[in-house]
Chain A
Amino acid sequence: MYRQAQWSEPVIFSLGKAGRVGHILPSVEEDVKKAVGDLYGLIPEKMRRENPLRLPELSEPEVVRHFMRLSEMNYGVDSGIYPLGSCTMKYNPKINEALANMPTIGLVHPYQDERTVQGILEILYKLERWLAEITGTAEVCLQPAAGAHGEFLGACLIRAYHKHKGELGKRQDILIPDSAHGTNPASAAMAGFNVVVIPSNDNGCVNVEALRAAVSDKTAGLMLTNPNTLGIFEQNIEEIAKIVHNAGGLLYYDGANLNPILCKVRPGDMGFDIVHINIHKTFGTPHGGGGPGAGPIGVSEELAKFLPVPRIVFDGKSYRLDYDRPHTIGKIRGFYGNVAVLVKAYAYILSLGFDGLKEVAEVSVLNANYVLHKLKALDGLTLPYNSEKPKKHECVFSVKPLKNKTGVSALNIAKRLLDYGVHAPTIYFPLIVEEALMIEPTETFEKEELDRFVEAIREICREAQTNPEKVLKAPYNTAISRLDEAKASHPKTMALSWRMYQKKQAAANP
C-alpha cells in the first residue's frame, strides 16, 4: 500500500538561527555608499522600520531541506491518478516547463520596446489565432489569469455589450443552470448581475421549458458549461442558443469542460458568443497547487471591440501592442496575461497538432466511460441522470445507497482513497447529486492506472460493508491523519498566520 512521507516538519519560523542568511546579495561599492551618504537619513524617521523584521533565518541547505521535505508531503499528477472532476488533471509535459523557464522569457520586461520582444509577441499572437480556431471565435484575449478571471471578463463584456446598446439598465439577469460551477454565479454577481438559476431536467440537462419561462427583456445572458458538470452534452444547445439570442441575451461558454470536444465540435459553432479556456486544464499546463493558470477568452466579432487593451496586432512584418481601442472596457489586470503559462500552451498545441488534440478529446472520453462502466457494477453506487448513455470527459456517481447502508459517505471514500495513493475525485459537486463523486480520469492515464483507481474504490466499498469504522477514520498513510477543518475556521481557534497563532498561544498561556 501507499505510504506518504511523514516528516513532522516544523513551521519554518521554528527553524534556523538568528543571523543566518541563505543567500548573498550583490554588494554595494564603497564609493556608491559615499556618494549617497547616510541612507537611513534619507528616510524620514516616521517612515523607517523600527521593529526588526521577524522572518526565519536559515542557511541555504536548511532552506532546501525544509522545502524538499514539504514537497515530499504533497501529491501531484506525477505521483499518480488525480481524477478531480472538472479540473482536468492531465500530465504536464516536461519540455513545456523547460521552454517556459528560459531566460529569454523570464528576463524580459513587459514595457520593453516592441522591437526587442518580437519573439514573445509572435508566440502570443499565434496562440490567440490557434485558440480562436479551436473555439470557433473571432478574437481571443489572453489576459485573464485564471478561468474565473476569464468569466469575470466575459461578464464585463456582456455588460459592455448591453451598455453599448443602451439596454444595461434593464438587462440585469444572468441565467445559470443549477449544475454550474460555483465560479459562474460568483462571476456574474461580481459583474453586477442578478443570478437566475435554471433547473436541470431529469436527464441532467438544462430544462428548456424553464429556460423559456425565465428569459425576458431583462435577460443579459446565459452561462453554460457544455458538456456540463455531469459529463453530459447539452443536446438542445441549438434551441437554448435560439431562446437566449431571441430574448436579446448573449451566450457564455464555461470552458472548464472543453477537453472532451477539442477539435471535434466548437463552442462558437454552437452559438456561444463568449468562450473562456482553462489553459491549465485543457492545454496541459500544471496547476501549481492552485495556480498560476491562464483563462483566455474568445469572443464573436461583435464583442471584440470591447476587449481589454492592449491587443497584439501584426502588420505582416512586425508585432505591436495596440492601445487605441475606443470601445475597450479597459484593464482587468496589469500587463498582458500569464505569459509563462501561455508559452506552455503554445508548445502543447505545437506538439499535438489538430489530430493530436482530437485524440486527446477522444481518449479522455473513452477513459471516462471505461471508469464509468467499471464502477457502475459496484454495489452502493448509483449513476443519477441518464445512466444508460455514454458520458463525455467525466461521470458523477452518488454513494447515497452505500452511505445509507454503512454510514460511509463520499467524504469518507475520498479520504480512504488517499491511503491507496490515489487522489480523490471531486466530492459533493455538482450540487444536484447527493453524496457525489465526480470523476474525470483524463486521457493521460493508461488502463493500468485507471484499473488501480477502480480497484481502490471497489476495495473501499467492500471495506465499508465489512469494517466501516476503518473507512470512517481514514486516511492512515498520508503525511498526517484526518484534520479538524472546522477548527481552522472557528474564531476562537483560527490561526491564519504564525503571528496570529503566537498571539493566540500567548493569550491562552499568560
Chain B
Amino acid sequence: MSEIGVKSIEELYADIPEKYFLKRSLNLPNALSEFEVKKHIEALLSKNKTCADMPIFLGAGCWPHYVPAVVKEIVQRSEFLTSYTPYQAEISQGMLQALFEYQSMICELTAMEVANCSMYDWASALGEAVRMASRVTKRNEVLIPKIIHPERKATLQVYAEPAEINVKEVAYNRETGQLSLKDLEGKISEKTAAVYIENPSYLGFIETQAEEIGEIAHAHGALFIVGVDPTSLGILKPPGEYGADIVIGEAQPLGNPMNFGGPLLGIFACRDDQNMVRQMPGRIIGLTTTVDGGKQGFCMALQTREQHIRREKATSNICSNEALCAVASTVYMALLGSKGLRELGETIMYKANYAMHLLSKIDGVKAPVFKSPHFKEFTVNFDGAGLKVVNIHEALLQRGIHGGKDVSKEFPELGETALYCVTEIHSKREIELLAKTLEEIVAER
C-alpha cells in the first residue's frame, strides 16, 4: 500500500457509490480450518450411498464404470489441472497434445475425421448439433426419435426454439422399438435440416436400420446426426461407416466418475467437409509446425468461428468446456487400446444380456420389452406381475439393491417399465442377486 501511495484499502474502492457497500455481514458460514472443513464435508458426504455400498442398476445418460488409478493420477497432475485454456500454445503443448489425441481417438471410435475437444455433455451437444445442421442446410426442422432421453429432448427444445427450429418426433415400432421408417418417410421434407437417432437408443436397444435412416435423410438433403455411447463402439459399427454427418454422445463412461451427474463430457465429431467444419461449435486443436517448419506442435485451430473473435456471429458461445474430462478419456482409451475397447464392449454386452436372460425367466417380468438386440441397458416390464415399478424399487432398496430408472411416466404406453443398466462393474453375483431378489418380490405380491 505504501508503494502505491494509499493509506487504506478503502481508497481503492472510493469510486464505488457509498450506498452499495454492504453495511452488514452476510449470512455465510464461519471460516473453518482445513481439518474442520474436511471433517464437515466428509461427514455430509457419508450420508450418500454409493455403488460400492450397494449394487446400482442405473444408467440413462450417466453410467457406472470403473475409472483406472492411472486416469485419476494423470488428471490430478497440477500442470494439467491448474492450467487455463491453451491460448499460449508454446507453453501449453502438453494439454494441446493430449486434447489433439482425444480428438483423434474420438475420430477412430466414431469413424469421423474431425472432433472438437469437448462439449458440456450429450444433451447440450445435441442442441448444438441441431443448430449446426440448421446453419449448414439453411433449413429449420429436425426429426428426432420418440424414444429419446426426456432431458436431452428438453435441452434440445431450449437450444432449438430461439433459432426457430421445429423439433418433430418420429414414431417407433411397438414391437421392436426401432424407428418407424414409414413415419420417417412421411415426416421428412425439404424443410428437414437433420434426422437424429441414438445408437444404442435411450432404452438400450441397438437401432439396426441406422444405414437406411441415413440414406433417407440424405435423399432429402438432410444431415444425419447420430448420438452414441462410446463404450459400444468397440463392437458396434461406428456411425461414420453408416453415413453419419455429425456424431455426438457422452464420453463420461470413458474414464470419468459419475459425480452425481457432472461434469460430463459431450462428444462432437463431423466429417471432413469444410462447410461443416467451419460451422462446428467448440474448441478444436490442430496439428501444425513451428514457424521455421522444423518441428511438429499443436495449437487451437479455426478460432475465427469462436465467440472471442466472432462475437454475435460465432458458431456457439462455448468458451470453458470439459477439457480435463477429455484428458481423462484420452488416458482411459490409451490404457484400453483397440483390444481393450473391444473387450469392454463385449464384457458389457455379455453381462447385460445375462441379466436380461435371468430377469426374463421371472414369472410376470418381461426383459427386455422390445424384440431387438440390446447393448448395456434394457427395459424391464412388471405389468405381468401386477406391480408398480415404484413399489418394486422400494422393496429392492429395502434389500440393499438400487433398481433401474422408472420410465413408466416417460413412456406410458410401455406400462410399468424400468430402464436397467449393467456394465463391467456388475459382478455375476450381483446380477444373480438382483434376479433372485426380484423373483422374491414378485412372488410376495
Contact = CB atoms under 8 A, between A and B. Distances in A.
B120 interface: yes
A466 interface: no
B104 A336 contact: no
Contact of B323 (A50, A118, A232, A291): A291
Contacts of B393: 113
A290 B321 contact: yes
A156 B50 contact: no
A144 B89 CA distance: 28
Interface stretch (B183-191, B260-268, B376-384): B260-268
A118 B287 contact: no
B443 interface: no
Given A72-B79, A99-B38, A496-B301, A130 B28 contact: yes
B206 interface: yes
B427 interface: yes
Interface string A267-279: 0011000000010
Contacts of A113: 393, 397, 402
Interface in A329-378: 329-341, 343, 346-347, 349-357, 362, 365-366, 369-370, 372-374
A148 B319 contact: yes
Contacts of A64: 70, 73-74
B48 A104 contact: yes
A95 B25 contact: no
B437 interface: no
A500 B272 contact: yes
A167 to B, nearest CB: 16
Top 7 A-B residue pairs of the complex, sorted by shortest distance between their CB atoms: A335-B261, A192-B162, A288-B324, A110-B261, A290-B323, A353-B31, A74-B94
B45 A102 contact: yes
Contacts of B182: none
Given A58-B334, A92-B81, A148 B155 contact: no
Interface in B373-428: 373, 393, 397, 402, 405, 424-425, 427-428
A183 B317 contact: yes
Contacts of B3: 370, 373-374
Interface string A46-62: 11111111111110100
Interface in B9-40: 9, 11-17, 19-22, 25-32, 34, 37-38, 40
Interface in A99-143: 99, 101-113, 115-120, 122-123, 129-130, 133-134
A397 B390 CA distance: 62
B122 to A, nearest CB: 6
Interface in B29-60: 29-32, 34, 37-38, 40-42, 44-52, 56, 58, 60
Interface string A207-243: 0000000000000000000000000110101100000
Contacts of A479: 90-91, 93-94
B41 A347 contact: yes
Contacts of A152: 317
A355 to B, nearest CB: 7
22 contacts: A40-B235, A43-B373, A47-B237, A58-B337, A102-B42, A145-B121, A237-B20, A263-B26, A287-B85, A333-B155, A334-B149, A334-B261, A334-B264, A338-B259, A339-B259, A350-B32, A373-B4, A478-B91, A481-B90, A484-B289, A496-B103, A497-B115
A506 interface: no
Nearest to A130: B28
B114 to A, nearest CB: 5
Given A119-B44, A290-B323, A484-B293, 14 more contacts: A21-B337, A28-B347, A43-B235, A43-B236, A74-B79, A74-B94, A109-B260, A116-B49, A120-B45, A123-B45, A263-B26, A334-B122, A335-B151, A418-B90
B85 to A, nearest CB: 4
Interface stretch (A245-253, A400-408, A486-494): A486-494
Contact of A286 (B81, B236, B289): B81
Pick the most buried of B60, B90, B124, B424: most chain A CB atoms within 10 A of its CB. Answer: B90
Contacts of B48: 104-105, 108, 116-120
Nearest to B406: A111
B338 A53 contact: yes
Contacts of B75: 288
Contacts of A8: 295
Given A105-B45, A146-B319, A498-B107, A70 B314 contact: no
Contact of B154 (A73, A291, A330): A330
B403 to A, nearest CB: 9
Interface in B261-295: 261-264, 272, 274, 277, 283-295
Given A291-B324, A333-B121, A112 B56 contact: yes
Interface in A26-70: 26-29, 31-33, 35-36, 39-40, 42-44, 46-58, 60, 63-64, 66-70
A496 B277 contact: yes
Pick the most buried of B263, B342, B373: most chain A CB atoms within 10 A of its CB. Answer: B263
Given A341-B263, A424-B88, A494-B301, A346 B337 contact: no
B391 to A, nearest CB: 13
A87 B84 contact: yes
A503 B104 CA distance: 13
Interface in B141-157: 149, 151-152, 154-155, 157
A12 interface: yes
Contacts of A491: 274
Given A99-B41, A102-B42, A415-B90, A111 B60 contact: yes
A40 B237 CA distance: 12
A55 B333 contact: yes
A423 B260 contact: no
A107 B50 contact: yes
Contacts of B313: 189
A352 B262 contact: no
A462 B345 CA distance: 60
Nearest to A153: B158
Given A43-B373, A292-B325, A365-B9, A108 B260 contact: yes
A20 interface: yes
A353 to B, nearest CB: 3
Contacts of A72: 79, 94
B288 A496 contact: no
A50 to B, nearest CB: 7
B60 A292 contact: no
B253 interface: no
Contacts of A108: 48-51, 258-260
B223 interface: no
B160 to A, nearest CB: 10
Pick the most buried of A70, A82, A390: most chain B CB atoms within 10 A of its CB. Answer: A70
B173 interface: no
Interface in B115-129: 115, 117-118, 120-124
B438 interface: no
Nearest to A57: B337
Interface in A272-328: 278, 280, 286-293, 295
Pick the most buried of A280, A414, A491, A496: most chain B CB atoms within 10 A of its CB. Answer: A496
Given A23-B68, A49-B236, A148-B307, A39 B13 contact: no
